Chains A and B, each alone.
Chain A
Amino acid sequence: MNSDNNYIVRFTLNERIQHFLLFISITLLLISGFALKYADTSFGQFFIRLEGGFQARGIIHRIGAVILIFVTFYHFIYVLFTKRGQEQFREMFLTVKDWTDFKQSLSYRLGSTNEPPLYGRYSYRQKLQYWLVAIATFSMEITGLMLWFHNESIAILSHHILNIVYVIHSYESTLIFTLIVIWHLYDIHIASHFPMDPVWLTGKISIKRLKKEHPLEYFKLFGREGKK
């Protein structure tokens, strides 16, 4: 916390690096993955050329995978064994309040109420995005590893299972693109802080913004009648 210049640290350097690695790996994975998925289109062909050919595309995809797996493991350890990580993880739990927040936000947006829901450290949308990323990452990592080591996984499981795994891996990518790239970018970065919310890089959030966007966290930190 740094109240001297009206900022508090929302995300520590450690968390920002995790987010950055996640961002880098997902970008690499989506670009090299879609290049293969849409290889029959000019879009796919352009990206395969851009990535230095078919083999290089595969290597880039695997580099992205290794970064993602690393950050997943790191996040696990962070959440399980550090105090800060445990606290943040607990903040991510979905509660009944998130459901009521969702309903209130809906009626606020529709205009039937002028009271926006009061969010804590993480809004219901941020929590939902976290969990969706978590599920997506897990399933993509498992299916991806099976496809990476396809000789072994076919020998153990059968070609039929690998066909299913391939379809999941391939089709889930579009879903992830929708959720992470479009929704997350719009909701967190573009919509209110065009072109992006600088918090992901600086980690700092102004107290004024904190009071507006995360009032319950603000009250917790500074009390109901806190400064400003």
Chain B
Amino acid sequence: MKSKLYIMFISLASIILVTSNSNAVIRKCIICHQKPEIKKVLPTGEVISVYVDKDILRHSVHRRLKCQDCHTDVTVIPHKGIKIGRVHCERCHYKGSPYPVPKPDHIYKKYWNSIHGKKRRAGDPHAPWCQDCHGGHNVLPPSNPKSLVYKKNVPATCGKCHKKAYKEYKDSVHGVALLKKGIMDVPSCTDCHGKHAVYSPGKPYSSVNPQKVPETCIKCHANKAIMKRFDVSVDTATTYEDSFHGIALKFGELKAANCSSCHGVHNIRAPSDPLSTVNKKNLPKTCGKCHPGANENFAKGKVHLDIHSKSAGMVYYLANFFIFLTAGTMTVLFIHIFLDLYRRVKEKREGL
């Protein structure tokens, strides 16, 4: 009898403990919102689901919060007739917040200046804000592999809206490496476009502006340690900068080819891939975007040419030949000038 009572007490205590930890705080709201068919009609006439998956909420970083901590508009239940707006994360996540939470400061500024923030300010309902990328009830720290903003999940997250880019990226050399092979050293969306400071490519300060593209690619492609792992040459960066395209771009000729003009944007593939825009077979078409009349002869010869490397072949020897010839000519010239001056000084001294 005594032991039965003991077991009952323990089980009761454990139920109370568990529920008080997570379930208790969502208890009332969940009565309605756990029904999968629960829907809401927006003023626009759009119907959206307001179903809450308890399981997701239980594992979120916000599992200890009450519903109304975030959904502050809900002051009574049932909340008929109350206008319920979106959740504002900055209620808790702000600089100087007393709560033990991440306190981003500059991130809001970055976001509101970004293309997403600007569109949101302009009233575009499709422009994402915090929870569209970070998750609503399923918000998790970015380091958590289940987080929507965990590196490997970023492409799918952005791809919710940017469908074409996601589709191209998935099959690109970067996408395959990250999503299929699980290599974390390749760029996902945010590595090139920025996280909160995403700007349209037309803006000169965007990291994907034509003039900024080389700088953005070089972040990894000039890094010997990273490139060595993938057996990719690092001098693509320097050879581009020395090329006519690179110099023209640097001096503001935006129509000059940058990295992505030839290699593609989201669809970048290894040159050996037959679908790559820089595959030998596809080069005439790629060059032809700017160079009318490009044919198979455009594919014969190195593009990223390093004159000072033996791999350049004939060009290397030719350049060296000219360097020695010029140096030799200069030497002879200096001897000539020296002898000439020597004779003049001698004549002057002898009073000739």
Q: A residues near B, CB below 8 A? A: 36, 39-40, 48, 53-55, 106, 108-111, 150-152, 154-164, 167-168, 171-172, 174-175, 178-179, 182-183, 186-187, 191
Contact = CB atoms under 8 A, between A and B. Distances in A.
A148 to B, nearest CB: 12
Contacts of A54: 247-248, 251-253
B13 interface: no
A39 B322 contact: no
Nearest to A168: B318
Interface string B284-308: 0000000111110111111101010
A155 B297 contact: yes
Contact of B298 (A48, A109, A159, A182): A159
Given A54-B253, A155-B293, A178-B329, A167 B343 contact: no
Given A39-B250, A151-B293, A171-B323, A109 B339 contact: yes
Contacts of B337: 186, 191
Given A178-B326, A186-B337, 17 more contacts: A108-B343, A109-B340, A109-B342, A110-B339, A155-B294, A155-B295, A159-B299, A159-B301, A164-B314, A164-B315, A167-B319, A167-B322, A174-B326, A175-B325, A187-B336, A191-B337, A191-B340
Contact of B318 (A40, A109, A164, A191): A164
A159 B303 contact: yes
Contacts of B303: 159
B171 interface: no
Contacts, number: 101
B241 interface: yes
B326 A171 contact: yes
12 contacts: A40-B241, A48-B251, A110-B339, A154-B294, A155-B295, A155-B297, A160-B302, A164-B315, A168-B322, A175-B325, A178-B326, A183-B336
A-B complex: 4 closest residue pairs judged by Cβ atoms: A159-B301, A160-B301, A171-B322, A54-B251
Given A39-B247, A111-B343, A182-B333, A171 B319 contact: yes
Contacts of A39: 247, 250-251
Contacts of A160: 300-302
Contacts of B323: 171
